[in-house]
Amino acid sequence: MIFKLSSKNRLIHASSWTICILYFILSYFLLWWDLRPQPISPYEPLIGALSITTCCYLIYSTLQYYLPRKNQYLKITLICLILTLMSIGLSLFFLNQFFDDLSLTHFYEVLPYRFIINFLLLLCAIIINIFWNIQEEYEDNKKRKEESERILRDAELYNLRQQLQPHFLFNSLNSIIALIGVKPEEAKNMTFQLSDFLRGTMRKDDKQLISLKDEIAHLRLYLDIEKVRFGHRLSTAFQIGEEIDETKVPAMIIQPVLENAIKFGLYNIIGDVEITIDIHTSNYLLFITITNPYDSDQFETKKGTGFGLSSIRRRLFLLYGRTDLLETSMTNNIFTTTLKIPQYD
């Protein structure tokens, strides 16, 4: 706002004194042309230039926030006409009081031309002021719109993240309940792990992007909980490139993909299941590829609502404005989910 005000003040001073100088030069030249070879005084051009400059400052001070509505152009013309008469009246007053008859006589001779020139110059000053006000209002509206959109986007992102939590939480609590009777020690460990996981989730609620290192640590905690639930049937393999130390990812963007992989991999298949997580970078993109087996005969009946992947796709669009950052494929009973996270400098 300070920069905006200072910029407008510079415009006011620059335009007003530019008009003053040009008006003086033009008036002096016309006076010399009409009265040559007689010696001429600069008083008449100077008084006229200072009068028109005073009216310009009146325009900027009185119309600083004025924006004309439709059908108000007559009002602008009337304001300009009044200020034109004021500028001529000021010139006449000072010439009558302080200066010679020759300047006053010449002033009356060129009065119609002076009136037209003053009117056009003041009309230009009014138009400049109005256009500046319109530009300021446009910039203010644009900033307010961007701010409101940012707030709405953050609220939607928060809601999407929160909606992903209950499903995992309820499953974990059910598993703890089931373990209390038969394996109380494992139920106790799982409770501690769930507590640590939720505590880490709460710490990330105010962050959109976190380091991949922190995200992987959070994922390992999540997988430890799931391994308590499924025992030896679940195994995971991380393949992480060496160049990912400084990469950033949206908080908790990978966990629902893993949850999806576990759901389809272990619920539909009898026996051990391995889920692989491959992470590498290429062309300023972080690729996170998660693969899991699935039973093609049961996939259609067990696939559910698909809320997890659709919410991830929505989050990525809100954050990066792209719809191609989540891809899935099914080949030879292997389901592959690929996340692409842009990495900006």
pLDDT of 257-283, one tens digit each?
Answer: 888 888 877 776 777 888 999 999 888
Q: Which is more confidently placed, 328 or 131?
A: 328
Give the span between the Cα atoms of 239 and 54, in whole angstroms: 75
pLDDT of residue 71: 66
| Side chain identity, residue 69 | R
Give the span between the Cα atoms of 258 and 217, in whole angstroms: 14
Are 8 and 63 within 8 A, CB to CB? Answer: no
Give the span between the Cα atoms of 115 and 138, in whole angstroms: 34
Q: Does residue 173 register a pLDDT over 90?
A: no
- Residue 3's pLDDT band (boundaries 50, 70, 90)? very low
Q: Does residue 12 register a pLDDT over 60?
A: yes
Q: Three-class SS string for the chain? A: CHHHHHHHHHHHHHHHHHHHHHHHHHHHHHHHHHHCCCCCCCHHHHHHHHHHHHHHHHHHHHCCCCCCCCCCHHHHHHHHHHHHHHHHHHHHHHHHHHCCHHHHHHHHHCHHHHHHHHHHHHHHHHHHHHHHHHHHHHHHHHHHHHHHHHHHHHHHHHHHHHHHHHHHHHHHHHHHHHHHHHCHHHHHHHHHHHHHHHHHHHHCCCCCEEEHHHHHHHHHHHHHHHHHHHHHHEEEEEEECCCCCCCEEECCCCHHHHHHHHHHHHHCCCCCEEEEEEEEEECCEEEEEEEEECCHHHHHHHCCCCHHHHHHHHHHHHHHCCCCCEEEEEECCEEEEEEEEECCC
* Mean pLDDT of the region 282-311: 73
* Mean pLDDT of the region 35-53: 77
C-beta neighbour count of 152 within 10 angstroms: 11
- Residue 158's pLDDT band (boundaries 50, 70, 90)? low
